[in-house]
Chains A and B, each alone.
Chain A
Amino acid sequence: TQLLEQSPQFLSIQEGENLTVYCNSSSVFSSLQWYRQEPGEGPVLLVTVVTGGEVKKLKRLTFQFGDARKDSSLHITAAQPGDTGLYLCAGEANAGNMLTFGGGTRLMVKP
């Protein structure tokens, strides 16, 4: 069973601060996805990374896939209240297999 551990579980910061969320596993994933979920809604896909060492940027969000494809990180620069939500990483072990989700990082950005 592939497991994905996210850290930290909770994060409360002030607007304008930077933060990094980590997603780690002992297993190799063929791809890794990041989602954001807001209360009362389903998760929304932010990005998919597939190549070891890959870095993708989405405005103030930077996603990195580890060289060995076992871990990933999400860095947010100058966080804003609109970034508040539950951030989930999800790994696909083999193409065509099910997604394994991490436990999530609940982020609150205070104005």
Chain B
Amino acid sequence: KAGVTQTPRYLIKTRGQQVTLSCSPISGHRSVSWYQQTPGQGLQFLFEYFSETQRNKGNFPGRFSGRQFSNSRSEMNVSTLELGDSALYLCASSLRQGIGEQYFGPGTRLTVT
């Protein structure tokens, strides 16, 4: 069974721009969660989608948004990028709604200059 895939793997953007990251979960997994990982703050939960609906949300500003499609694939968007948004963005899928055991993708490394 193929694992979680994320595209692109690396991205360089300029302050003020916006970015869209993509995630394809493991086949059969309907829950997709997004996390931000930085050296200073560690791994922080952004949001979770299940059946195309956002079910849980972390403590991040509204510039961070996401969506899930009917095939469970998910996208995350960050608008008006700031230098502090530079991070590894991880997507994880799970069989059941509400997190459970997370299967992570390799992440997208976003650098904001």
Q: By the criterion CB–CB under 8 Å, are B101 and A45 in contact?
A: yes
Q: In the docked arrangement, what's the CA distance between A110 and B23, Å?
A: 35
Task: Confirm or deny: A66 has a beta carbon within 8 angstroms of a beta carbon on chain B.
Answer: no
Bound Cα distance from A88 to B22, whole angstroms: 24
- CB < 8 Å neighbour of B98 from A33, A90, A95: A95
B59's closest neighbor in chain A, by CB?
A: A1
Query: Are B98's CB and A96's CB within 8 A?
Result: yes
Q: Is A78 an interface residue (CB 8 A)?
A: no
**B48 on interface, CB distance cutoff 8 Å:** yes
If A40-B106, A42-B104 touch, whether A101 touches B42 (CB-CB below 8 Å) is yes
**Is A68 part of the contact surface with B, judged by Cβ < 8 Å?**
no
The answer to whether B99 touches A99 (Cβ under 8 A) is: yes
Instruction: Find B99's partner among A42, A97, A102 (CB 8 Å cutoff).
Output: A97
**What's the minimum C-beta distance from A77 to chain B, rounded to whole angstroms?**
25
Bound CA–CA A42/B106 (angstroms) = 4
Residues of B within 8 A of A40 (CB): 106
Determine how close the nearest CB of chain A comes to the CB of B97; give it in whole angstroms: 7
CB pair B98 A42 closer than 8 Å? no
Residues of chain B within 8 A of A41, CB atoms compared: 106-107
Is B101 a contact of A42 with CB atoms below 8 Å? no
Contacts A42-B90, A42-B92, A92-B99; A99 near B105 (Cβ below 8 A): no
Task: Name A's B-contacting residues (CB within 8 A).
Answer: 33, 35, 40-45, 48, 88, 90, 92, 95-104
Q: Which residues of B contact A (CB under 8 A)?
A: 4, 33, 35, 42-45, 48, 55-56, 58, 90, 92, 97-107
Q: Which 10 A-B pairs have the closest CB atoms?
A: A96-B98, A42-B104, A101-B43, A98-B45, A98-B56, A103-B42, A43-B104, A99-B99, A42-B90, A42-B105
